[in-house]
């Protein structure tokens, strides 16, 4: 494959699966500028790694999630250690970009609350629930994250219980 056709193949695949980049950046970045930087860094790393992509070993989307999540989690860890900053929970201004530009109704308070809870999860659990909400199979989630299917199932069930508990907990009353 020529260098030009290799580049073109990458551009086509990236365009077809660009929603993955936006979803991961939306879940792991704090501000719009951070989301843009993270999306750009993900794309750079995807390009750098594209020569090693083997379609016989994994679907492109699985490979792409693996790269994107590794970049996001690494960047989050660097930011935490260098700036000692906290991850901002997802709120309504984040929700518009989840889904690669698909608008989520701002009036759905339960959905906003759920995404706020997801935003407070640690990076691995955020990745798990993101992939689960994308209807990825446990096998694919395990492949992306490098853990067993049993571990995926156990962790997802625990996350769902935790989120369910947070969503059904009565709101604190004012004093």
pLDDT tens, residue by residue, 104-155: 444 467 777 777 888 888 888 998 998 998 888 999 999 888 899 999 999 9
Q: Which residues contact 71 (CB under 8 A, 6 or more apart)?
A: 38, 41, 42, 45
Confidence of residue 171 (pLDDT cuts 50, 70, 90): low
SS3 (DSSP) at 164: helix
Q: What is the pLDDT of residue 85?
A: 44
Confidence of residue 61 (pLDDT cuts 50, 70, 90): very high
Q: What is the pLDDT of residue 107?
A: 42
**Closest listed residue to residue 34, CA positions, set 44, 43, 24, 25:** 25
pTM score, whole prediction: 0.67
User: What's the chain's average pLDDT?
Assistant: 81
pLDDT tens, residue by residue, 15-24: 999 999 998 9
Q: What is the pLDDT of residue 28?
A: 86
Q: What is the pLDDT of residue 105?
A: 45
Q: Which residues contact 19 (CB under 8 A, 6 or more apart)?
A: 99, 100
Evaluate if residue 2 carries a pLDDT over 80.
Answer: no
DSSP H or E segment with residue 137: none
Domain range list for the chain: 3-168
Segment 50-68 shows an average pLDDT of 91
How far the first Cα of the chain sits from its last, in Å, is 69
Q: What is the pLDDT of residue 154?
A: 95
């Amino acid at each position: 494959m020529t260098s030009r056709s290799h580049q073109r193949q990458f551009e086509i695949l990236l365009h077809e699966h660009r929603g993955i980049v936006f979803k991961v950046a939306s879940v792991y970045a704090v501000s719009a500028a951070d989301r843009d930087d993270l999306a750009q860094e993900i794309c750079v790393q995807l390009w750098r790694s594209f020569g090693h992509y083997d379609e016989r070993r994994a679907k492109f989307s699985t490979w792409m999630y693996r790269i994107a999540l590794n970049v996001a989690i690494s960047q989050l860890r660097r930011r935490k250690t260098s700036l000692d900053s906290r991850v901002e929970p997802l709120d309504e201004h984040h929700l518009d970009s989840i889904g690669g530009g698909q608008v989520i109704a701002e009036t759905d308070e339960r959905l906003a609350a759920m995404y706020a809870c997801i935003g407070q999860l640690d990076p691995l659990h955020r990745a798990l629930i993101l992939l689960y909400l994308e209807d990825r199979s446990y096998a694919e989630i395990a492949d992306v994250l490098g853990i067993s299917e049993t571990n995926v199932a156990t962790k997802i069930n625990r996350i769902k219980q935790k989120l369910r508990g947070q969503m059904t907990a009565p709101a604190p009353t004012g004093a």
